[in-house]
Structure 1
Amino acid sequence: MQNNDWPTADPAVMGMDAEKLSKLDPKIKSEYSNINGIVVVRNGYIAYERYYHGYGPKDTHHVASVTKSIMSALIGIAIDTGYIEHVDQKVLDFSPEYIPHSADKQKRDITIRHLLTMTAPYPFEDWHEPLDKMCMQPDWTAYTLGMLGQGGTIGTFKYSTAGAHLLSAIITRSTGKSAREFANERLFKPIGVKEIPHYGMQSFGFDDLFGKNVKGWVNDPDGNSTGGWGLTLTPRDMARFGYLYLNHGTWNNQQIIPKSWIDESTAMNANNYGYLWWLREEEGVFSYSALGDGGNVICCVPEKDLVVVIASEFIINALDRWKLIKECIVLSVKD
């Protein structure tokens, strides 16, 4: 795989049913109108690529929670390069200035693994995280550490974007670089993703953090890159990242992420959630996906040698992408 433009190939040559693929475009236009771009990579070649609403291959999109799966890769790289000891290192090791209450025993036991697998306790109800509250704080890390370990027990699945942000702070504390800088150097540059620029945050309102002002990679008031959202990528950038995982962490014969980390990150479990990756086993076909609000997706289907990337405009209650991916793309692969 070269770092310049990706080779494209006719779907039929790649063992894909062109007729099934031809249903994608009308279906997207009629049922998934907020999709801005789609890239399908099979056997390392781009077999299908379309853009909508005036977007093209060089345009970036805010990928929302897809950012979390990038964060997972950065933690794996930081462990491999010795910045972080191991996945079971305690979260509080990285914030020695934070002194928990003596009764706060649970907080002391929470590890990086708990943050990666969304099995740390928080006081909010499941799927009702008050993210806006964190965003109003002068110190997001201290605020999240305050919540951490409160309510519930370690080991129960509870999805938390603030928890992913703690991982970003851990990257910065251990490497001395923001997640954006660390990613540019250790992940993006080696796989041919254009450098993510720094944009100074003018303010921390909705549009700056989530909306039309999001550029590069959003950061908190302390300069930590947002761990759970806020990264902008092109669909081809997303595909490169997915292909890196499909290829067991190697790119041009260079090991960027340890294979063992990718295996651990995507090992099936009862929560259907790995290290910040969503896992799915359906009709004997296993896939793992980075999923972001509004329908941003990097879906890897190892046994079909397939990466499907969808970049979308944020809308509330966007239609789930899996049906589209399964019926028009996964089932188009001839065994």
Structure 2
Amino acid sequence: MTPSHPHAPAAGLAPAQRARAPWRWTLAVLLAVLLPLAPLWAHAQWLPSSAEEQALDATAFQGMTDTIGERFTGVQSVVVALRGRIVYRYYRDGQPDTLRDVQSVQKSAVSALAGIALGQGRLASLDQPVLALMPEWAALNTDARAQDITVRHLLTMSAGFAVDDPSGTKAPGRPRDAWARPMASAPGQSFAYDNALVPMLMAVLERAVGMPLADYAREQLVAPLGMHEPSYQRGLQLRTEDMASLGQLFLQNGVWAGRQIVPAAYVDAATTPQMAGGLPVSLPYGYMWWVSSVKTPRRAFMAIGYGGQFIWVYPPTGLVIAATSTVPARGPDRGQALQLIRNALFTAAQKRSAGAER
């Protein structure tokens, strides 16, 4: 049985009735044709580029593909967006739709979901105690300080658990086991980069939103931004362009295609130093985003994953750079992506930005 379509009432009219209501019949046909296209309009990811703009983009990034291919051999993909337009792409494998292993860039994606849940009232507050949502964990840790851990402490890497992982690469383990670890300090007292807080926060969010987090992400972030479906089999895997979309969303204060996806106040707090930070990056830390130590009207901020996975956002010129690298990073390749971003790509983007202002 073919279900009726609520937007096509004229389809069931007899010919004589259609003749008396031609505008209704025409409207029904138009809706039947155009409604399936509406999500494409709503999810348009980037501003279009004119032929003139594309020529200027090519001039600004001239020689970049050869430079990356020959000198930055560990870098696998790059997407550069400037003022809402993609101005440069590079894929060593020639596959823009390949899902890339983003490592700890996942943390910043989870932060976005926490902000969305907060804005929807599914999280009562960032200061809500974790045990209010996960009471079954209470018996796992007898240290009274564990009772004071809040969602905010998970987001800012200040939960207080004893952590001995200066490289930031230790496997996170199960949330229940992570909660049972010894406490080293009171929550909120000091920063300690702790991979185990990510699955812990994911479990908290699943409880708060009442569904698997992958489903919530698809509904609230992936679909609205027009991303390709990620993979979660071995951590988070995303297209490089979708990494850039996440950076662009936060650059735009949580707005995408005219819709407030993440509350602006949350985005501001997430990309403002909340903790002094420390190893392995030694930068201030927001809500699972690293933040520049250089004070500007709006600081640069970044998502960083092991081995050279980056979302690098520079608000002064509306610049977003997403890059992925070989995992695990080989010795000579270590640090290549950051060097590329901070030098060649940044210089080319600034050149293009200056040209656009003239």
TM-score by length of 1: 0.80
2:229 counterpart of 1:217: no
Pick aligned residue for 1:37 from 57, 77, 102 = 77
1:264 corresponds in structure 2 to 269
2:233 counterpart of 1:190: no
Greater shift in the superposed pair: 30-39 or 306-315 = 30-39
Instruction: Provide the alpha-carbon RMSD of the alignment.
Output: 2.7
Between 1 and 2, higher relative CO (CA 8 Å, sep ≥ 6) is seen in 1
Length, aligned pairs only: 299
Higher helix share: 2
CA change 1:249–1:122 in 2 (3 A) is same
Letter in 1 for 2:159: A
TM-score by length of 2: 0.75
The whole-number CA distance in structure 2 between the counterparts of 1:298 and 1:16 is 24
The whole-number CA distance in structure 2 between the counterparts of 1:243 and 1:102 is 40
2:185 corresponds in structure 1 to 152
Deviations 1:161-202 (A, max 9, x none): 111111100111111212211110011101111233xxxxxx
Deviations 1:40-73 (A, max 9, x none): 0011111111110x24111111111111000001
The whole-number CA distance in structure 2 between the counterparts of 1:14 and 1:31 is 25
CA change 1:166–1:16 in 2 (3 A) is farther
2:189 counterpart of 1:177: no
The whole-number CA distance in structure 2 between the counterparts of 1:191 and 1:51 is 22
User: Which structure 2 residue ranges, 5 or more long, are not aligned?
Assistant: 1-40, 278-283
Pick aligned residue for 2:99 from 53, 56, 60 = 60
2:135 counterpart of 1:123: no
SS class of match (1:217) = coil
On the 8 A contact 2:300/2:313 being kept in 1, the answer is: yes
2:300 counterpart of 1:287: yes
SS class of match (2:124) = coil
Pick aligned residue for 1:275 from 287, 301, 304 = 287
SS class of match (1:311) = strand
The whole-number CA distance in structure 1 between the counterparts of 2:294 and 2:345 is 15
SS class of match (1:191) = coil
2:26 corresponds in structure 1 to none
Greater shift in the superposed pair: 116-125 or 323-332 = 323-332
CA change 1:172–1:8 in 2 (3 A) is same
1:245 corresponds in structure 2 to 250
On the 8 A contact 2:44/2:257 being kept in 1, the answer is: no
The whole-number CA distance in structure 2 between the counterparts of 1:171 and 1:124 is 23
User: Which structure 1 residue ranges, 5 or more long, are not aligned?
Assistant: 197-215, 219-228
Letter in 2 for 1:277: W
The whole-number CA distance in structure 2 between the counterparts of 1:143 and 1:324 is 39
Give the deviation of 1:286 after TM superposition.
2.9
CA change 1:180–1:82 in 2 (3 A) is same
1:226 corresponds in structure 2 to none
Give the deviation of 1:130 after TM superposition.
8.1
CA change 1:39–1:12 in 2 (3 A) is farther
Letter in 2 for 1:330: F
Give the deviation of 1:237 after TM superposition.
1.0
The whole-number CA distance in structure 2 between the counterparts of 1:158 and 1:329 is 31
The whole-number CA distance in structure 1 between the counterparts of 2:228 and 2:115 is 21
Letter in 2 for 1:234: R
Letter in 1 for 2:81: V
Equivalent residue runs for 1:11-50 within 5 Å: 13=53, 21-22=61-62, 24-50=64-90
On the 8 A contact 2:81/2:244 being kept in 1, the answer is: yes
Give the deviation of 1:27 after TM superposition.
3.5
On the 8 A contact 1:301/1:307 being kept in 2, the answer is: yes
Greater shift in the superposed pair: 256-265 or 315-324 = 315-324
Give the deviation of 1:232 after TM superposition.
1.1
The whole-number CA distance in structure 1 between the counterparts of 2:108 and 2:248 is 13
On the 8 A contact 1:23/1:328 being kept in 2, the answer is: no
